[in-house]
């Protein structure tokens, strides 16, 4: 049984996207490996805040049908550079019940294991659903602060939470909350100021704009597009939020869901397709096809929002809030990489080495030497095809089934290519210098 301290996968449990049948043997191996990671490793593999992706990787390739031997191989490849979680300070854990003490340690990775044990204890006492609601969605100052941290770190904490909820694993959810608590909150103005401006627009009955329209407007705004500089260490913090904060908030606040009874399935599908569209279309011909490292996280996190919608313990108001914050993240991420032109023809006209089936793409990415990013992207794109197909042709949607199939091949070929798997900051010419040009077409 899955508990806040015990990982136990049930192969009959249906996640957002998985192969039709998963073996008991793979479920057992994946559970054991996730437990080892849970017990023995920190959520960051170094003091600079680089994330431990083992849980993401194992759960993703498990859902894509990985065998026990493949699961073990991939775990071994990424476990050797992890670090131990650190000693638990029982006094601190007990004191964290006091909100002031809880806040005292926020933003410091040193206290990850203390937060983990604290959240596990809270879940044992109250149930994980109640704890998530209390910590993230209470609507008070602490709740908003931790929710901001959940969206920090290029969406890693919310990705981790999404895996825990999607696979019904309280232990992974406890890790996610502890991870969020260890992140900084400098990005708070993007969310809270945008939310405030959006609520004003809603009172004035100003309609929300399609996400793709907002992407085009952001690209046309020269001040915002040029606000991130190549030498910025963090192009959201030191770029757009330092040099064009009001412009970013202006566009971010123009996406809002006026009616909480809106069709959130459609709104979620629009989010999934829009972030996938700019991630795939941010190419730089004649350079080889590559995917931006930062944009990729927006796509990889998109798969969990349908799972959030299915949670009856989560209020409709908070489902709306999660989706609005996700779209605002996507808009800010796009602007932060200098708003690259979205080349739809790079998707529709993609001609790879071969047009492979999804089944073969899954097999290739299961075996790929990776830390989980590539397999997550493949699975998110496959899920996007499944989830968005019924909205094909509607306003705000640009893909058809063939587009999604091409995307699957684009992803796997790009990560199998020689060199780095990802381009970083695709809107900058400098980002593409070290990548190869495509072979000339033979006429």
Residue 438 lies in a domain: no
CB 18 within 8 A of CB 336: no
Structural domain contains residue 443: no
What DSSP element (H or E) covers 70?
Answer: helix 68-79
Q: Are 297 and 399 found together in one domain?
A: yes
* Whether 224 and 170 share a structural domain: no
Q: Hey, what are 56's tokens?
A: 């993401």
- Do 138 and 243 lie in one domain? The reply is no
125 shares a domain with 222:
no
Instruction: For residues 360 and 235, state if they share a domain.
Output: yes
Averaged confidence pLDDT in the chain: 96
- Asked, for residue 442, whether it belongs to a domain, the answer is no
Note whether 412 and 356 are same-domain residues. Answer: yes
pLDDT at 442 over 60: no
State the residue range of the domain holding 15. 1-184
CA distance 366 to 67: 9
> Which has the closest alpha carbon to 367: 135, 70, 111, 108?
70
Looking at the fold, whether 153 and 214 belong to one and the same domain comes out as no
Closest CA to 302 of 412, 379, 380: 380
Task: Indicate if 341 and 397 belong to the same structural domain.
Answer: yes
Q: What is the pLDDT of residues 7-27, one digit of tens each?
A: 999 999 999 999 998 999 999
Query: Looking at residue 394, what DSSP letter applies?
Result: S
Domain boundary among 153, 184, 215: 184
- The dihedral over CA atoms of 133, 134, 137, 143, expressed in degrees to the nearest 10, equals -150
Q: Give the Cβ contact number of residue 86 at 10 Å.
A: 14
Are 201 and 284 in a shared domain?
yes
In a domain, 389, yes or no: yes
Cα gap 71→443, rounded to integer Å? 44
Q: Do 154 and 198 share a domain, yes or no?
A: no
- Overall domain count for the chain: 2
Q: Return the closest-CA partner of residue 42 out of 3, 88, 6.
A: 88
Same domain, 200 and 179: no
pLDDT bracket for residue 217 (50, 70, 90): very high
Q: Which of 185, 331, 330, 341 is nearest to 250 (CA)?
A: 331
Q: Does 220 reside within a domain?
A: yes
**Is 52 a member of any domain?**
yes
| Domain identity same for 156 and 196 | no
Last residue of a domain, one of 166, 184, 202: 184
Q: Which of residues 184, 203, 227 is at a domain's end?
A: 184
Q: How far apart are CA 118 and CA 165, in angstroms?
A: 19
In a domain, 300, yes or no: yes
In contact, 112 and 86? CB cutoff 8 Å: yes
Residue 439 forms part of a structural domain: no
pLDDT in tens, 44-93: 999 888 999 999 999 999 999 999 999 999 999 999 999 999 899 999 99
Cα 273 from Cα 302, distance rounded (Å): 9
Comparing CA positions, the residue from 40, 33, 29, 8 lying closest to residue 116 is 40
């Amino acid at each position: 049984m899955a508990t806040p301290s015990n990982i136990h996968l049930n192969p009959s449990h249906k996640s957002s996207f998985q192969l039709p049948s998963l073996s008991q043997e793979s479920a057992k191996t994946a559970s054991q490996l996730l437990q080892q990671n849970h017990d023995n490793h920190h959520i960051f593999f170094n003091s600079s805040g680089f994330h431990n992706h083992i849980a993401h990787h194992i759960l993703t390739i498990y859902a894509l049908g990985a065998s026990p031997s493949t699961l073990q191989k991939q775990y071994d490849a990424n476990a050797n550079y992890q670090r131990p979680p650190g000693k638990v300070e029982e006094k601190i854990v007990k004191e964290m019940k006091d909100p002031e003490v809880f806040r005292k340690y926020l933003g410091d990775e040193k206290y990850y294991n203390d937060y983990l044990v604290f959240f596990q204890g809270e879940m044992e006492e109250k149930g994980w659903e109640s704890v998530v609601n209390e910590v993230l969605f209470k609507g008070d100052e602490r709740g908003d602060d931790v929710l901001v941290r959940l969206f920090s770190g290029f969406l890693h904490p919310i990705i981790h939470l999404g895996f825990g909820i999607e696979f019904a694993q309280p232990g992974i959810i406890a890790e996610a909350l502890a991870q969020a608590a260890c992140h900084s909150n400098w990005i708070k103005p993007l969310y809270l100021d945008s939310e405030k401006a959006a609520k004003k627009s809603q009172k004035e009955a100003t309609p929300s704009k399609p996400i793709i329209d907002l992407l085009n407007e952001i690209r046309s705004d020269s001040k915002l597009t040029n606000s991130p500089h190549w030498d910025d260490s963090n192009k959201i913090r030191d770029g757009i939020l330092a040099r064009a904060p009001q412009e970013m908030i202006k566009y971010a606040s123009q996406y809002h869901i006026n009616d909480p009874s809106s069709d959130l399935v459609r709104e979620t599908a629009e989010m999934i397709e829009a972030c996938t569209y700019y991630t795939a279309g941010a190419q730089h011909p004649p350079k080889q096809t590559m995917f931006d490292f930062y944009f990729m996280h927006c796509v990889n996190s998109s798969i969990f929002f349908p799972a959030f919608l299915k949670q009856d313990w989560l209020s409709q108001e908070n489902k709306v809030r999660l989706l609005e914050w996700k779209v605002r993240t996507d808009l800010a991420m796009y602007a932060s990489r200098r708003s690259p032109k979205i080349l739809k023809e790079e998707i529709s006209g993609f001609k790879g080495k071969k047009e492979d089936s999804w089944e073969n793409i899954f097999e290739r990415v299961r075996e790929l030497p990776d830390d989980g990013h590539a397999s997550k992207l493949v699975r998110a794109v496959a899920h996007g095809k499944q989830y968005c197909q019924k909205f094909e042709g509607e306003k705000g949607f640009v893909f058809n089934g063939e587009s999604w199939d091409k995307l699957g091949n684009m992803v796997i070929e790009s990560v199998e290519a020689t060199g780095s798997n990802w381009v970083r900051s695709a809107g900058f010419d400098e980002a593409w210098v070290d990548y190869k040009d495509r072979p000339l077409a033979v006429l």
